[in-house]
Amino acid sequence: MNRVRLLVLNAALGPLDYRVPDDLHVEPGSVVVAPLGPRQVLGIAWESERLPGTEVPDARLRPILDVLPVPPLRAPLRRLIEWTADYYCAAMASVARMSLSSSAALRGGGTITEYRLTGVMPSRLTPQRDAAISALDGEQGTIRELADLAGVSEAVLRGLVNAGVMEPVVVDIDRAYPPADPDHAVPTLSDLQTGVADRFVDAVKARKFAPFLLDGVTGSGKTETYFEAVSEALRMGRQVLVLLPEIALTENFLKRFESRFGVPPVVWHSSQKQSERRRAWRQVAEGGAQVVVGARSALFLPYANLGLIIVDEAHEVSFKQDDGVRYNARDVAVMRGRFEQIPVVLASATPALESLQMAEAGVYEKVDLPSRFGEASLPEIAVVDLREQVPPRGRWLAPPLVQGIEERLERGEQSLLFLNRRGYAPLTLCRNCGFRFQCPNCSAWLVEHRLSKRLACHHCGHEVPSPSQCPECGEADCLTACGPGVERIADEVAQIFPDARTAVVTSDTLSNPEKIAAFVDAAESGAIDVIVGTQLVTKGYHFPELTLVGVVDADLGLEGGDLRAAERSYQQIAQVAGRAGRASKPGEVMIQTRHPDAPVIAALAAGDRDAFYAAETDARRHAGAPPFGRWAAIIVSSEEEAEAREAAQNIGRAAPRLDDLAVFGPAPAPLSLLRGRYRYRLLINARRSAALQQTIREWLHPMEFAPGVRIGVDIDPYSF
Ligand code: ADP
Ligand code: ZN
């Protein structure tokens, strides 16, 4: 008899065995529909020897119902799913779900009917209809997807279709993307760039695993060199994945890609329209998507024929997913390269210490672009000591920086002020009674957003309209903004230079591709004098007139006891400094700080990257942190504070006593209340050689917790 073991996707169950009816063909990786009790579930056929489960006697097997018309997940992807689940202590089903798409895409190609708003307003506007219409603006998808998205029933949407407010669109989700031309506009590379590009091209041709660390200063042409490898993969008919840390960077990348290859690449990210995602997924799986640019989730897609992976800005923190499966896309990308037997390029101007260490150990091949392309030189970096150069009361820009901006305004050049804090002010308090506005769901202050006239929590999204009086003492005119955000710095610029044209650049102001494109156009054409932005502006952009970068508060990132704080600060400031100056116009960077002697600041000022990495290496060695030792976190949460604390204490009491492993805590997690859940945390520090994951699994597996308790394991956590 033909039996099959399934990794069941939408159930918190172990693997299950089924019978394959004679008229169905199933192979490892096939996506199938199977009965589970009264329900139907999706599953992926798996090699039973790799997926241990209880043997069910033949007589009790139920038959699978259907095999979906999508290519079976290939062996390299199945191995990646196994590895990711194992390494990050996650459920295999949770990892595998990231590889699949909506059921509409899985159930076959051809045409499907999607719906969108017509622009006609309904005659009767019930609250539900109103909510649906505002939620579905610009969306397109099946009735079921749109109902999920808008949080209304399918009946509400069918009502809107009948009323002419929504219309059907027949979409061919198998329609191909126009082909990219590897030779559309080939740049002339410098000798240095050619040397690097050749290494990549050879590796693509070799069809073997080859991890590279491309270490190149900002403006050295990292993108141009890896585009040559993309071009080779295209000639060989193989697919390419380019991972970018932030969707805001994509606009810029799409433009460059299109001018190099004649067509835009295929985009993959979570805030995409359902219909675009469906088409992209089908084309990835069928091989029609040649180059995919995406956020970290694009890493688990079922590419038909992957030939190359690029991870750009590979040092970025946002490659680490912080809930669900807590994986680091940079590291998983290298593993995918190994399973697929293809090259992987990690590109950065400020590589993570772990990546440099891997290069030093000979695991990654390091390729360098130590100078900027063409005549361009790196900017001059000056430190402004805020203890001596004191900004006026209630202001944050010290005299040298103000003067720097003034000179740029006179010369018609641009300035960029960097402060990694969205909104107007991080804290609002009452001068009369001392009341502070706090999020009801999180242990965090509400941040004032003056542009949208709201107070908002940056952790859970809770928002209230900006109040005019204190809710505690009832006094009016007593609310004070404390500390600066980018909006407040923009205000300060406007007060000092009333004629300057300023732009605030954050995820609030550049919330969609259209706004990003408009900003980039304005900045490139010189229609903006002063850009005030968060880390969103630190990467990727090259504005020709930008000659001054001011770091408003270099000490901000160094607060808190985070082991990676120094590295992250260094990377952010080095990246934003890299925006200053291009070929004909040298740049200048001013770093405002109260700690000019801190290793991060001193290394930046001296332009001595090696000094910074040496200091950082020492600190990490001392702390047993990566790459010298390993850390993991166990996060215990519940809506009941006592329940979370008790579960965490029980875990602490059950901790294994091993020589190569130390357990700290439990203690309240840094955000001890997050989205209405109380959080406790245990930290585990282990020697490199310790069997960390296995120890954690064996430790937690036998334990039982109250139903409201959630346990999350974070291997190689980013912030602790
Ligand atoms: P990085 O990614 O290292 O910051 P980019 O690839 O973005 O560098 O290149 C920086 C700038 O220099 C871009 O505007 C790019 O178009 C230009 N550039 C780099 N190399 C070349 C080249 N060989 N020919 C023409 N322009 C180049
Ligand atoms: Zn909150």
Band (pLDDT 50/70/90 cuts) for residue 246 is: confident
Measured from the CA of 223, which atom of ligand 1 is nearest?
6
Mean pLDDT of 291-297: 93
- Residue stretches of the annotated binding site for Zn(2+): 430, 433, 439, 442, 457, 460, 470, 473
pLDDT single digits (tens) 374-409: 776 778 899 999 999 999 998 999 999 999 999 999
Read off the pLDDT of residues 637-685 as tens digits, 9 standing for 90 and up. Answer: 999 999 999 999 999 999 998 888 899 989 998 889 999 999 999 999 9
In the chain, the largest separation of any two C-alpha atoms, in whole Å, equals 86
Task: Give residue 599's pLDDT band: very low, low, confident or very high (50, 70, 90).
Answer: confident
**Strand 266-268 to strand 588-593: parallel, antiparallel, or no bridges (unpaired)?**
unpaired
pLDDT at residue 51, as a whole number: 86
Confidence of residue 308 (pLDDT cuts 50, 70, 90): very high
Predicted pLDDT at 113: 83
pLDDT digits (tens, 9 = 90+) for 65-75: 999 988 999 99
Q: Which residue lies with its CA nearest to atom 9 of ligand 1?
A: 221
Distance 669 CA to ligand 1 centre (A): 43
**What pLDDT, in 10s, does the model give residues 170-213?**
877 777 888 999 999 999 999 999 999 999 999 999 999 999 99
Q: Is 356 strand, coil or helix?
A: helix
Of 459, 498, 468, 433, residue with least CA distance to 669 = 459
- Cβ atoms of 554 and 568 within 8 Å: the answer is no
Q: Dihedral of CA 312/318/324/326: which sign?
A: positive
* Pocket flag, ligand 1, residue 145 (CB < 6 Å): no
Top mutation candidate among 257, 373, 541, 543 for ligand 1, by most atoms within 8 Å of CB = 373
Q: What is the pLDDT at residue 4?
A: 93
Structure confidence at residue 102 (pLDDT): 66
Q: Is the Cα torsion angle 515, 521, 526, 530 positive or negative in sign?
A: positive
Q: How far is Cα 373 from Cα 387, in angstroms, rounded to an integer?
A: 37
Q: Which of 19, 22, 25 is nearest to 6 (CA)?
A: 19
**493: pLDDT confidence band, cut at 50, 70 and 90?**
very high
In eight-state DSSP terms, residue 466 is P
**Atom 8, ligand 1: which residue's CA is nearest?**
221
pLDDT digit string, tens, across residues 402-413: 999 999 999 999
| More confident: 270 or 429 | 429
pLDDT on residue 141: 82
More confident residue, 494 or 153: 494
More confident residue, 562 or 565: 565
Q: Is the peptide bond before 627 cis (omega within 30 degrees of 0)?
A: yes
Give residue 109's pLDDT. Answer: 64
Closest CA to ligand 1's atom 15: 221
Question: What is the SS3 assignment for 102?
Answer: coil
Is 305 touching ligand 1 by the criterion CB < 6 Å? Answer: no
Residue of minimum CA distance from atom 17 in ligand 1: 221
CA dist., res. 69 & res. 101, Å (int): 13
- pLDDT higher at 121 or 411: 411
Q: Ligand 1: does its nearest atom lie under 6 Å from the Cβ of 282? A: no
- Judged by its nearest atom, the ligand closest to the C-alpha of residue 456 is 2
> Residue 231: is its pLDDT beyond 80?
yes
HEC-encoded secondary structure of 64-97:
CCEECCCCCCCHHHHHHHHHHHHHCCCCHHHHHH
Answer yes or no: is the C-beta of 256 below 6 A from any ligand 1 atom: no
Strand partners, 408: none
Distance from Cα 187 to the centre of ligand 1, integer Å: 10
Whether ligand 1 lies within 6 angstroms of the CB of 224 is answered as: yes
Which tens digits make up the pLDDT trace of 447-468? 999 988 999 999 888 999 999 8
Query: What's residue 248's pLDDT?
Result: 66
What's the confidence (pLDDT) of residue 709? 94
Please report which ligand is nearest the Cα atom of 524: 1
Amino acid present at 285 = A
DSSP letters, 574-624, are HHHHTTS-BTTB--EEEEEES-TTSHHHHHHHHT-HHHHHHHHHHHHHHHT
Contacts for 458 with CB less than 8 Å, ≥ 6 apart: 422, 444, 447
Which residues are CB-contacts of 463 (< 8 A; sequence separation ≥ 6)?
454, 455, 456, 457
Report d(CA 373, CA 138) in Å as an integer. Answer: 41
* pLDDT for residue 122 is more than 90: no
**pLDDT over threshold 70, residue 17:** yes
Q: What is the mean pLDDT of the chain?
A: 89
pLDDT at residue 277 tops 90: no
219 lines ligand 1 (CB under 6 A): yes
pLDDT at 249: 66
DSSP 476: B
pLDDT at 1 over 70: no
pLDDT at residue 111 tops 60? yes
Give the C-alpha distances (Å, rounded to integers) separating 497 from 362, 386, 461, 509, 529.
Answer: 53, 21, 34, 22, 10
Distance 670 CA to ligand 2 centre (A): 14
Q: What is the pLDDT of residue 565?
A: 85
* Position 132 pLDDT exceeds 90: no
- Residue 650 CB partners (closer than 8 Å, separation 6+): 703, 705
- The ligand that comes nearest to the alpha carbon of residue 193 is 1
Residue 720 pLDDT > 60, yes or no?
Answer: no
**Is residue 581 in contact with ligand 1, taking CB distance under 6 Å?**
no
pLDDT at 103: 63
Report the pLDDT averaged over residues 100-129. 77
Hey, which of 194, 224, 579 would you mutate to test ligand 1's pocket, going by the most ligand atoms within 8 Å of its Cβ? Answer: 224
Q: What percent of the chain has pLDDT over 70?
A: 97
Q: What is the pLDDT of residue 533?
A: 93
Q: Look at residue 583 in the predicted model and tell me its pLDDT.
A: 63
Q: Residue positions in the annotated binding site? A: 430, 433, 439, 442, 457, 460, 470, 473
pLDDT at 263 over 70: yes
pLDDT score of 322: 84
> What residue has token string 């897609």?
301
